[in-house]
Amino acid sequence: MSRPHILQIGPLTARFNANLAARYAVTPLWLQADPQAFLREQGEQFELLVSSARFGCSVEQLACLPNLRAICSFGVGYDPYPLELLRERGIAVSTTPDVLNECVADLAMGLIIDTARRLSEGDRFVRAGSWPSAAFPLARKVSGKRLGIVGLGRIGAAVVQRASGFAMAVRYHNRTPLADCPHGYEASLVELARWADFLVLTCPGGAATQQLIGREVLEALGPDGILINVARGSVVDEPALIAALRSGALGGAGLDVYAAEPQVPLALRELNNVVLLPHIGSGSEETRLQMEALLLANLQAFVEQGELLTPL
């Protein structure tokens, strides 16, 4: 029996690419001289597609894939996919949920501690040789502070679990309150920000949350408040964030995601009251290996049974 032919939109790890190629006949779209022209000429041969939350699959690409039946995506983000169009065409989509919850929550907690205690700033202070001639400014305590979660799903719950070790009070904002949730629900995002010392974003990206965190929320969080974003860059009004950090209207921020990755505005890079990471929320060897295995398992399940293990 011939191996199923897979279209892969963009590269993942060398390990994953090799494993995928060992199991299936794979066409790497990014290696084509003119990817869109290739799809127009060859797209009808593909029923299965592998991509990621980074590369997604555009409306233009989908138009050239008339026989596509399923997309297996690396990561939990689904905002780079035209979901309504996929539903209309009956194309199934899987992501890799749960296996990255712990890693992303670890990073969120790390950003809370880093931004509050000024760890990265302190590292730069020592490396610059400033310690012998100047006193490092005081930072802020983490234990016992108030934690606001925007999007109390799997990752948000894992952040809350870690925060319990720091005796932090917790409130959250979702579109609707959760049943049997022990934490306080705040229907107003502005009021949640006004209450919180740390506002952590763990909500999905996409149109529903586009620039959800704007000037009013940032000013409510205030000059002693800290914003942590491990969700999507699109959730935050980036110019408003830069303005609030510059003026002191917001105390600080810890960011793993940005509006136009991998481009990070110079204005953010020049600020001392923000910690900047290169979208590494799931970036551990253990978690990435689990994500790769789950994507391959979804693909195998669809090839053999016509169903995905972790569909959207």
Confidence category of residue 2, pLDDT binned at 50, 70, 90: low
Query: Is the predicted pLDDT of residue 284 greater than 70, yes or no?
Result: yes
**Residues in contact with 18: Cβ distance below 8 Å, sequence separation at least 6, in sequence order:** none
Is residue 204, in this structure, part of any structural domain at all? yes
Is residue 89, in this structure, part of any structural domain at all? yes
Spatial separation of the C-alpha atoms in residues 245 and 268, rounded to whole Å: 9
Do 259 and 221 share a structural domain? yes
Q: Which of 118, 121, 219, 279 is the catalytic position?
A: 279
Is residue 291, in this structure, part of any structural domain at all? yes
What's the number of domains the chain is made of? 2
pLDDT digits (tens, 9 = 90+) for 119-172: 999 999 999 999 999 999 999 999 999 999 999 999 999 999 999 999 999 999
Give the domain extent around 130.
Answer: 101-276
β-strands 146-150, 169-173 pairing: parallel
Do 109 and 76 share a structural domain? no
Confidence category of residue 79, pLDDT binned at 50, 70, 90: confident
Is the peptide bond between 278 and the residue preceding it cis, with omega within 30 degrees of 0? no
pLDDT digits (tens, 9 = 90+) for 194-226: 999 999 999 999 899 999 999 999 999 999 999
Per the annotation, the verdict on 173 as an active-site residue is: no
* Residue 285, beta-bridge partner list: none
Is residue 312, in this structure, part of any structural domain at all? no
Do 295 and 248 share a structural domain? no
Residue type, 82: P
Is residue 311, in this structure, part of any structural domain at all? no
Spatial separation of the C-alpha atoms in residues 181 and 163, rounded to whole Å: 16
Is residue 281, in this structure, part of any structural domain at all? no
* Residue 281, beta-bridge partner list: none
Confidence category of residue 3, pLDDT binned at 50, 70, 90: confident
Global pTM? 0.93
Do 203 and 262 share a structural domain? yes
Per the annotation, the verdict on 279 as an active-site residue is: yes
| Residue with tokens 């897979």, as numbered in its chain | 6
Q: Which of 102, 118, 121, 232 is the catalytic position?
A: 232
SS3 127: helix
Q: Which of 261, 270, 286, 307 is the catalytic position?
A: 261
